[in-house]
A and B are shown apart, each in its own frame.
Chain A
Amino acid sequence: MEHNTMNLNLKVWRQKNNNTKGEFKLYRVENISAEMSFLEMFDVLNEQLVVTGEEPVAFDHDCREGICGMCSMYINGKPHGPWQANTTCQLHMRAFKDGDTIVVEPWRANAFPVVKDLMVDRSAFDRIIQAGGYISVNTGNAVDGNALPINKKDADDSFAAAMCIGCGACVAACKNSSAMLFMSAKVSHLALLPQGDPERNSRVLNMVAQMDKEGFGACTNTGACEATCPKEISLSNIARLNQEYLSASLVADK
Chain B
Amino acid sequence: MTWKQVFTSSVGKKLVMGLTGISLVLFLVVHASINATVFADLFNSEENGEMFNKAAHFMGSTVLIRIMEIGLFGGIILHIAQGYLLSLENQQKRSVGYAVAYKDGSKWYSRSMGLLGTIILLFLVLHLYHFWVSARFTNKGLEESVSYNGVEMHNMFGLMKATFSEWWIFLVYSLGCISLGYHLAHGFQSAFRTLGVHNKRYTTMLISIGYGFSVFITLVFILMPLSFLLGWIG
A and B: bona fide binding partners? yes
Provide the bound-state CA to CA distance between A176 and B199, in Å.
25
Closest to A216 in B: B93
Query: Does B196 lie within 8 Å of A108, measured CB to CB?
Result: no
| B-chain residues with CB within 8 Å of residue A57 when the two chains form the complex | none
- B136 contacts partner chain A, Cβ-Cβ < 8 Å: no
Binding stretch for chain A, among B24-32, B42-50, B100-108: B100-108
Q: Which residues of B contact A226 (CB under 8 A)?
A: 105
A77, A209, A238: the one within 8 Å of B9 (CB): A209
Complex interface bits, B182-224 against A, C-beta within 8 A gives 1, otherwise 0 = 0000100110111111111001000000000000000000000
Q: How far is the CA of A236 from the CA of B194 in the complex (A)?
A: 10
Question: B90 within 8 Å of A by Cβ?
Answer: yes
In the assembled complex, the Cα of A242 lies from the Cα of B6 at a distance in Å of 12
Contact call A236/B98, Cβ cutoff below 8 A: no
B14 in the interface, Cβ–Cβ < 8 Å? Answer: yes
What's the Cα separation between A3 and B63 when bound, in Å? 80
In the complex, which residue of chain B has the Cβ closest to the Cβ of A201?
B1
Q: How many residues of B contact A (CB 8 A)?
A: 48
Is A16 on the interface with B (CB-CB < 8 A)?
no
B51 at the interface (CB under 8 A from A): no
Q: Is the CB of A219 within 8 A of B14?
A: yes
CB-defined contacts of A236 to chain B, threshold 8 Å: 198-200, 203
Residues of B within 8 A of A (CB): 1-3, 5-6, 9-15, 86, 89-107, 110-111, 113, 186, 189-190, 192-200, 203
Cβ 8 A contact of A76, one of B3, B93, B100, B107: B100
- B13, B98, B110: most-surrounded residue (chain A CB, <10 A): B98
In the assembled complex, 15 residue pairs joining A and B whose CB atoms fall closer than 8 Å, in A order, are A74-B98, A74-B100, A109-B94, A110-B93, A110-B95, A177-B93, A217-B89, A217-B90, A222-B107, A224-B111, A225-B105, A227-B104, A227-B106, A237-B198, A239-B193
Q: How far is the CA of A208 from the CA of B100 in the complex (A)?
A: 30
Q: Which residues of B contact A88 (CB under 8 A)?
A: none
CB neighbours of A219 from chain B (8 A): 10-11, 14, 194
Report chain B residues within 8 Å CB of A211: 10
List residues of A (203-254) whose CB comes within 8 Å of B's CBs. Answer: 205, 208-209, 211-212, 215-228, 235-249, 252-254
Q: Does residue A166 face the partner (Cβ distance < 8 Å to B)?
A: no
**Contact of B11 (CB < 8 Å), options: A76, A109, A208:** A208
B94 touches A246 (CB 8 A): no
Taking CB atoms, residues of chain B closer than 8 Å to A177 are 90, 93-94
Check A221 against B110 for contact (C-beta < 8 Å): yes
| A227 smallest CB distance to B (angstroms) | 3
Q: How many residues of A are in contact with the other chain, CB < 8 A?
A: 56
Residues of A participating in the B interface, judged by any CB pair closer than 8 Å: 11, 24, 74, 76-79, 103, 105, 108-111, 173, 175-178, 180, 205, 208-209, 211-212, 215-228, 235-249, 252-254
Q: Are B98 and A218 in contact (CB under 8 A)?
A: no
User: Other than the known A24-B99, A176-B90, A222-B186, what 9 A-B pairs have Cβ atoms closer than 8 Å?
Assistant: A208-B9, A216-B10, A218-B90, A220-B113, A226-B105, A235-B193, A239-B194, A239-B203, A253-B1
Q: How far is the CA of A69 from the CA of B194 in the complex (A)?
A: 28
- The interface residues of chain B lying within 8 Å CB-to-CB of A76 are 100
In the complex where A110-B94, A176-B93, A239-B203 touch, is A222 in contact with B10 (Cβ < 8 A)?
no
Kindly identify which residue among B1, B15, B102, B190 contacts A221, using a CB–CB cutoff of 8 Å: B190
* Given contact pairs A108-B96, A236-B198, A245 touches B11 in the complex (Cβ within 8 A): yes
**Nearest 3 A-B pairs (CB), nearest first?**
A243-B196, A227-B105, A77-B100
Q: Are B99 and A79 in contact (CB under 8 A)?
A: no
Given A218-B90, A221-B110, decide whether A248 and B1 contact each other with a Cβ distance below 8 A: yes
Q: Which residues of B contact A244 (CB under 8 A)?
A: 196
Docked pose: A237 CA to B196 CA in angstroms: 9
Across the interface, do B11 and A77 meet the contact criterion of CB distance under 8 Å?
no
Closest to B15 in A: A246
Contacts of A223 in B (CB 8 A): 105-107, 110
Residue pair B98, A241 in contact (C-beta under 8 Å)? no
